[in-house]
């Protein structure tokens, strides 16, 4: 039976990972994800989990160790943030191209500089195009649930791709929340042992990560892209199974009070919880507003996106990072390309908010709702001084 | 696992481009990369085997008399054998 506990979300996420019985955990500490692997090392040291915990000397090694372990058929896990993710970068595309279902938690933090340890989404966006599946948790319960779902999604015979679960640094990682933690029996029932497509073993030679010349690279890339596109079906299936067993519903884009809404806000991650309160308060005053919370970042849910904005006049897409010198925020860019070919589409505004840990309050969301339709240019740094 | 030696279409690419047969680099003839070819002058060769050891393609073979020559299906023309042969028995000459 699931138990309802109050726990720091990073620790709860670590407990959830332990329930998935990973064989290998390789991690290097970096704020604000540190409590996740730290707590896992405690769990291993206490003998509660029979796993190899590798204290690596860098994130590059952490991801390399996960790649090697996953190649042998092991269930591998790591976690990181910000600069640590950048240090892994070289290996991230290798892991996805080799179709290794490594699971990674990212305690989202700004990419420096100026040097900053606080939350935004600029870290995950640097690995947007590297072939990983990507989920965003809005609260501690989702972080726990997504950790467990991730192993099942990644290891599915039709997927075999690495996946990252994004938890906003501090806003989620360091927050104590009341949540349901499933027990071992329940997780064992939900998540079978990994059955690898192939595994490194001296008795059965297999080459992983071979050279791909110009005469095969296009075909290999098309196959990778298709694998991500096709993973959507499995993600939806796993979420259905989760709902059936645990009663909590997951969908690529969660709609909150969008019925009859003229203006709709879109968020990723923990800001959705704050935005909900703003929607409630404005609705009470008779202002028809709503909210869309994106949970599935890769593969991007194009079809769900089109459906979600039917009848909406203005869509305010929030981005917790800036594509410097580009089209504003990465989420808005994706939303715009998803809706470009639609005959009827809302006016799309893009607010860059919550950068480098700046608080975004209920009043900020209400203010953004009130300013809807007044944005100059295709994106705006909300609340920027000057 | 039944598979073609070389995938033609993207559908034939195995997940992760994994290869399930050992030794199939033989199927890939790197000789087409060559701009220069090594030519052995056996009169100068002292049969030390350095060219055989240093060839990165492992395509230098020893004949029955103990002299060496490259298998031109695989020789990439890198010139390492000629560079390493200290009696100067190997010369690189332009192809074509
Ligand atoms: S040229 Fe290079 S590849 Fe060819 S035989 Fe000499 S060392 Fe080997
Ligand atoms: S390195 Fe030169 S001398 Fe030595 S075996 Fe090869 S060709 Fe002969």
- Residues A232, A337 within the same domain: no
Range of the domain at A293: 253-381
Does A386 fall in a domain?
A: no
Does A304 fall in a domain?
A: yes
Q: Residue A308 belongs to a domain with what CATH number?
A: 3.40.50.920
Q: Return per-residue pLDDT of chain A as tens, 386 residues.
A: 788 999 999 999 999 999 999 999 999 999 999 999 999 999 999 999 999 999 999 999 999 999 999 999 999 999 999 999 999 999 999 999 999 999 999 999 999 999 999 999 999 999 999 999 999 999 999 999 999 999 999 999 999 999 999 999 999 999 999 999 999 999 999 999 999 999 999 888 899 998 898 989 999 999 999 999 999 999 999 999 999 999 999 999 999 999 999 999 999 999 999 999 999 999 999 999 999 999 999 999 999 999 999 999 999 999 999 999 999 999 999 999 999 999 999 999 999 999 999 999 999 999 999 999 998 899 999 999 99
Instruction: Name the nearest CA neighbour of A81 among A32, A19, A130.
Output: A32
- Residues A288, A335 within the same domain: yes
Q: Find the distance separating the first CA and the last CA of chain A, reported in whole Å.
A: 54
| Residues A311-349 pLDDT 10s | 999 999 999 999 999 999 999 999 999 999 999 999 999
| A222 at interface of B, judged by CB pairs closer than 8 A | yes
Query: Which pLDDT score is estimated for B1?
Result: 43
Q: Whose CA is nearest to atom 4 of ligand 1?
A: B75
Closest-approaching ligand to the CA atom of B75: 1
CB spacing of A160 vs B13 below 8 angstroms: no
Query: Which pLDDT score is estimated for B5?
Result: 64
Contact list, A158 vs chain B (CB under 8 Å): none
- Residues A120, A210 within the same domain: yes
- Residues A211, A258 within the same domain: no
The DSSP H or E segment spanning A206 is none
Work out the angle at residue A136's Cα, subtended by the Cα atoms of residues A78 and A224, and round it to the nearest 5 degrees.
Answer: 70
| A100 at interface of B, judged by CB pairs closer than 8 A | yes
Distance CA A159, CA A230 (A): 8
B60 C-alpha to center of ligand 1: Å?
7
CB B43 within 8 A of CB B84: no
The complex's ipTM? 0.85
Q: Closest chain A residue to B18 measured between Cα atoms?
A: A208
Distance CA A118, CA A31 (A): 9
Query: Which pLDDT score is estimated for A92?
Result: 98
Ligand 2 binding residues, C-beta < 6 A: B 40, 45-51, 68, 85, 87, 89-90
| B18 at interface of A, judged by CB pairs closer than 8 A | yes
Parallel, antiparallel or unpaired: strands A133-136 and A296-298 = antiparallel
Q: Residue A155 belongs to a domain with what CATH number?
A: 3.40.50.970
Distance CA A80, CA A33 (A): 6
Of A221, A246, A271, the residue that ends a domain is A246
Q: Evaluate if pTM is beyond 0.90.
A: yes
Cα A121 to the chain's mean position, in Å? Answer: 10
- Residues A257, A310 within the same domain: yes
Ligand 1 binding residues, C-beta < 6 A: B 38, 55, 57, 59-60, 70, 75-81
| B2 at interface of A, judged by CB pairs closer than 8 A | no
CB spacing of A99 vs B13 below 8 angstroms: no
Of A214, A246, A278, the residue that ends a domain is A246
- Residues A235, A305 within the same domain: no
CB spacing of B13 vs A220 below 8 angstroms: yes
CB A267 within 8 A of CB A293: yes
User: Can you list the domains of chain B with their CATH numbers?
Assistant: 10-94 (3.30.70.20)
Reported residue count of chain B is 96
Q: 3-class DSSP state for residue A45?
A: helix
Q: Whose CA is nearest to atom 7 of ligand 1?
A: B55
Of A246, A264, A299, the residue that ends a domain is A246
Residue A151 tokens, joined: 């192993």
Distance CA B93, CA B73 (A): 16
Domain count, chain A: 2
- Residues A137, A230 within the same domain: yes
- Residues A156, A265 within the same domain: no
């Amino acid at each position: 039976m699931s138990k309802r506990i109050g726990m720091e979300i990073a620790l709860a996420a670590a407990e959830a990972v332990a329930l998935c019985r990973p064989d290998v955990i390789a991690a290097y500490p970096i704020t604000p994800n540190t409590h996740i692997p730290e707590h896992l090392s405690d769990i291993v040291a206490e003998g509660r989990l029979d796993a190899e915990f590798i204290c690596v000397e860098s994130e590059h090694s952490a991801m390399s160790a996960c790649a090697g372990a996953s190649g042998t058929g092991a269930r591998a896990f790591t976690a990181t943030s910000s600069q640590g993710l950048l240090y892994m970068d070289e290996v991230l595309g290798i892991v996805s191209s080799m179709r290794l279902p490594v699971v990674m938690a990212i305690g989202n933090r700004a990419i420096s500089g100026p040097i900053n340890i606080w939350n935004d989404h600029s870290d995950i966006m640097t690995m947007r195009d590297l072939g990983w599946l990507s989920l965003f948790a809005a609260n501690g319960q989702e972080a726990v649930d997504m950790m467990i779902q991730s192993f099942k999604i990644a290891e599915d015979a039709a997927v075999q791709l690495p996946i990252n679960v994004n938890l906003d640094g501090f806003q989620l990682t360091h927050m104590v929340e009341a949540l349901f933690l499933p027990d071992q029996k329940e997780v064992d029932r939900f998540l079978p042992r990994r059955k690898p497509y192939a595994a490194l073993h001296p008795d059965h030679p297999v080459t992983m990560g071979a050279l791909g010349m110009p005469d095969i690279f296009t075909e290999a890339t098309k196959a990778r892209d298709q694998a991500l596109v096709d993973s959507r079906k499995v993600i939806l299936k796993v979420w259905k199974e989760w709902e059936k067993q645990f009663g909590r519903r997951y969908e690529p884009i969660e709609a909150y009070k969008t019925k009859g809404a003229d203006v709709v806000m879109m968020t990723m991650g923990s800001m959705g919880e704050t935005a909900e309160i703003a929607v409630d308060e404005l609705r009470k005053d008779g202002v028809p507003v709503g909210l869309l919370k994106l949970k599935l970042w890769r593969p991007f849910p194009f079809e769900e996106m089109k459906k979600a904005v039917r009848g909406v006049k203005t869509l305010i897409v929030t981005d917790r990072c800036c594509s410097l010198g580009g089209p504003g925020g990465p989420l808005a860019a994706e939303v715009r390309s998803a809706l470009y070919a639609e005959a009827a589409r809302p006016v799309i505004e893009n607010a860059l908010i919550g950068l480098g840990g700046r608080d975004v309050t209920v009043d900020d969301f209400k203010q953004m709702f009130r300013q809807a339709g007044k944005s100059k240019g295709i994106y705006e740094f909300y609340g920027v001084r000057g | 696992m039944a598979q073609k030696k070389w995938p033609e279409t993207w559908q034939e690419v195995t997940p992760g481009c994994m290869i399930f047969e050992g030794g199939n680099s033989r199927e890939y003839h790197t000789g087409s990369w060559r701009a220069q070819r090594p030519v052995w002058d056996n009169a100068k060769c002292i049969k030390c085997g350095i060219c055989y050891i240093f060839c990165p393609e492992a395509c230098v073979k020893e004949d029955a008399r103990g002299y060496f020559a490259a298998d031109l299906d695989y020789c990439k023309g890198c010139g390492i054998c000629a560079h390493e042969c200290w009696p100067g028995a190997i010369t690189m000459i332009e192809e074509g």
